[in-house]
Homo-oligomer: A and B are copies of this chain.
Amino acid sequence: MNKPVAIYDTTLRDGAQAEGISFSVADKIRIAERLDAFGIHYVEGGWPGSNPKDLDFFDAAARRKLKQAKIAAFGSTRRAQAKCQDDPQVAMLLKANTTVVTLVGKTWPLHVKEVIRTTLPENLAMIADSVRYFKENGKEVMYDAEHFFDGYRDDARYAMATLRAAADTGADAVVLCDTNGGALPSDVARITAEVRKALRCAVGIHTHNDCGLAVANALAAVENGATQVQGTINGFGERTGNCNLTTVIPCLALKMGRDGIPRENLRRLRELSLFVDDLANLRHDVRQPFTGATAFTHKGGIHANAVEKLARSYEHIEPELVGNRRRVLVSELSGRSNIFMKAHELGIHLDKDSTEAKDVLRQLKQHEHAGYEYEAADASFHILVQKLLKRHKSFFNLLAYRVIMDRHGNGEHKIVEASVKLQVKGHVVHTVSEGDGPVNALDRALRAALEKFYPSIAQVKLLDYKVRIVDSQLATAAKTRVIIESTDGTAIWGTVGVNDNIIEASWEALVDSVEYKLFKDEQKK
């Protein structure tokens, strides 16, 4: 019974509930495109009825062409004692204009009575009406049964009736949600099997990690007939997080042999994991199964030795299958094959065994050791490799810059000013500009200096700017990593800078961004 398992990603909705995570619309679009390229089947973009900003994402998403992923909008069943047509939350959901609509509704009598305060039959009508309404509007409909396992334990008959209300009105799948993360795998296994027997539509599973069992619960459901798994990249989510897709996907594919994500795409799992961490501005969890930096690291003397003798002895899978690598000695180097894959993707040909390639690898290692990270900074990676291969063309040289900031009293007297002195095409250009802050002032002065020589610079806009401390133990004296996202209206690219000084790091990322744009323009000619 090797039915394919569909992967439903809710990083952009449930994942964004995590403390400290907030994605911009540009972040969300970039993540959705990556998930699509990776082979994720459903990408849930947000809850238009609860956060009006989410409509901007659905607007932007509608204008992009995804390869295969379907975009889903999340919302709840209609309000009690109302019609779908008159419910503003339902209207927003329709307005999101997605292929898929995912509706959450109540399973647990306790919640029906105490939280939404209506009757048990009215709750069933709310489910049935809402599913029917979106089916009539041509949607693929998922029904998320909130608190399903708690509800089932409390009143199995009623819990099943809520699922039937959705299934009988045409829901394409009912999804069993362990909303508070309190269920055990043996219970999930038994209950999923019973649901599977009782319904004809597809069954999905949505779990949380409050007992450290989110992945185990998802697998238990799949073993008992579920064919859709909901979760988030890196397990982002409220409290302890959601089911971690970067763990559950390789478990399904490599351990249980289930179809779903194409096997060859798994080789980019680690890359995907780091990319999403970077956009969330979160520290990478080095111990994360499959994708963590230490996931295939061997320290103990006997182990390291034995692994060399016989890798299969001490590793449950080959690290390369998920884009990771074995580390035996202490070394920061990213996987060789990753680097070649990435270079290839950017149109740079590197012969694996050439001296050139080894040189690039060695120098990349030094950069990574210094705190650079290229997962979300393709453009900087491109420029770096070009530089290492001596194929880089500089469009200008920096002679000097200066930044002055002054504040008196409560800020009624303030100055932020940057001056830049460049050599461009044989000319010395000296510009000065004010700004809201030092980076903005530098950015303006740089553009002012370049625009008359390279008018296309005017198209470039900075979309986002993120800063992390690389070694946080040293706080403000530690290294600062800046990641900038830029666009020229068609493409979006990322650049990175690292320095003790945040202004220096920002300058580095700004220069990469501008140079990448000029390089791309030249290529087109």
Interface residues of A in 106-124 (CB under 8 A from B): 108, 110-111, 114-115
The verdict on A95 contacting chain B, using a C-beta distance below 8 Å, is no
The verdict on A181 contacting chain B, using a C-beta distance below 8 Å, is yes
User: Which residues of chain B are near A407, meaning CB under 8 Å?
Assistant: 398, 400-402, 504
A328 to chain B, nearest CB (A): 11
Once A256-B184, A310-B110, A333-B51 are accepted as A-B contacts, the answer to whether A26 and B472 lie under 8 Å apart by CB is: yes
A239 near B296: Cβ-Cβ < 8 Å: yes
**Closest B residue, CB atoms, query A291:** B240
Interface residues of A in 350-388 (CB under 8 A from B): 373, 375-376
A443 to chain B, nearest CB (A): 5
0/1 per residue, A396-438, Cβ < 8 Å to B? 0011111111111101000010000000000000000001111
Main secondary structure of the interface of A (DSSP, over half): mixed
Bound state CA distance, A343 and B136, in angstroms? 47
B20 near A303: Cβ-Cβ < 8 Å: no
Contact of A399 among B108, B315, B409 (CB under 8 A): B409
Copies of this protein chain in the complex: 2
A148 to chain B, nearest CB (A): 14
Once A467-B467, A475-B462 are accepted as A-B contacts, the answer to whether A286 and B19 lie under 8 Å apart by CB is: yes
| Interface 9-mer from A4-12, A169-177, A206-214 | A206-214
Bound state CA distance, A210 and B438, in angstroms? 41
Q: Besides the contacts A186-B220, A213-B216, A465-B478, what 11 more A-B pairs have beta carbons closer than 8 Å? A: A50-B301, A108-B313, A182-B255, A212-B248, A213-B215, A240-B289, A240-B292, A400-B408, A402-B405, A476-B506, A502-B502
Q: Give residues in A with beta carbon < 8 Å to B.
A: 17-20, 22, 24-27, 50-51, 108, 110-111, 114-115, 147, 179-182, 184-186, 189, 209-213, 215-216, 219-220, 223, 235, 238-241, 244, 247-248, 250-251, 255-256, 281, 285-290, 292, 294-303, 306, 309-310, 312-317, 329, 332-333, 373, 375-376, 398-409, 411, 416, 435-440, 443, 461-469, 472-473, 475-478, 480, 484-485, 499-504, 506
